[in-house]
Amino acid sequence: MYDAFLAVCPSRQLLERISGKWVVLILSALGSGPDCTGDPRPMRYSELSRLLSGVSQKMLTQTLRALERDGLVSRTVTPTVPVTVTYELTDLGLSLHRLMRDVKAWAETNMDDVAASRVTYDEAGAR
Amino acid sequence: MYDAFLAVCPSRQLLERISGKWVVLILSALGSGPDCTGDPRPMRYSELSRLLSGVSQKMLTQTLRALERDGLVSRTVTPTVPVTVTYELTDLGLSLHRLMRDVKAWAETNMDDVAASRVTYDEAGAR
DNA sequence: CAGTATCCAGCTAGATACTG
DNA sequence: CAGTATCTAGCTGGATACTG
């Protein structure tokens, strides 16, 4: 029915949204906590902000909003003072989390092989 | 050893490279042919160009070069006239292909749910 | 066929300042 | 704490023209 190979297919735009480092990292984090080994659990905005080092407030908020709009995360506001906001995976988000977690793990696992390949490639080019 | 949550970790940059629609689509295509159901097989430049509708020559070439440099695809030039160039997954590329194929499939499978969620979200915002 | 080279519009995303 | 708003540098990526 849908085919992301087609530029006009809505799934192409969806693929565009869900590919991107911040989506991968946010979904990885929410799915299993900071160490990526536990069970899915809600996380606070500030907790995410600290965990994903280098993320700007703007990108974090923007990405979380997009994920919320797409039904992948839910946003809960607790009226404490100051306010507490938690983000949690929906069932839909959880299904994507599993893939994103694997992608993040792939990058970490194969970093050495990729680095070695780059050295070889660049050396060949220099000659 | 590596942790993509850390901005300074090399795996963060690698994650940045492999997240992106063209990487997902190219690896999906190379891994299992146009219909994404067959076995991995080499594909020609023009074949990829036709399959990934909307991709510019620049992006296709640029992405293929990056994937080649990272050791995910191999490039073979056959000196016919005109020249024939084929791209094929390496073993490393094949391992990432499996993940990327799932990501593409996820987008296609869950497009309807996401679209429905967007409608709900936007309606709530309008109120 | 399979690129390379160049130009440039537009979006991404960081920095900064401010707020309920 | 959890944002919003604004400004902007610079990168992404599309369009176009050319080539072995």
Mean pLDDT of chain A: 92
C-alpha closest to that of A15 among B53, B69, B119? B53
The pLDDT of residue B20: 87
Domains of chain A, residue spans? 11-124
Q: What is the dihedral of CA B33, B39, B41, B45, to 10 degrees?
A: 10
Q: Are A69 and B121 in contact (CB under 8 A)?
A: yes
Q: What is the mean pLDDT of residues B43-72?
A: 95
Question: B90-127 pLDDT, tens per residue?
Answer: 999 999 999 999 999 999 999 999 999 999 999 988 77
Mean pLDDT of chain B: 92
The pLDDT of residue B70: 97
The pLDDT of residue B33: 53
- Comparing CB atoms, the residue among B7, B14, B107 nearest residue A114 is B14
Beta-sheet strands, E only, within chain B: 43-44, 73-78, 84-89
- Under 8 Å CB pairs connecting chains A and B tally to 156
Cβ–Cβ gap A106/B116 under 8 Å: no
For residue A18, give the 3-state DSSP assignment: helix
Counted residue by residue, chain B has a size of 127
Question: A4-60 pLDDT, tens per residue?
Answer: 999 999 999 999 999 989 999 999 999 865 455 667 889 999 999 999 999 999 999
Architecture of domain B11-124: Orthogonal Bundle (1.10)
The model's pTM: 0.94
- Comparing CB atoms, the residue among B51, B72, B107 nearest residue A18 is B107
Residue B36 pLDDT exceeds 70: no
C-alpha closest to that of A86 among A57, A58, A49, A39? A49
Confidence of residue A125 (pLDDT cuts 50, 70, 90): confident
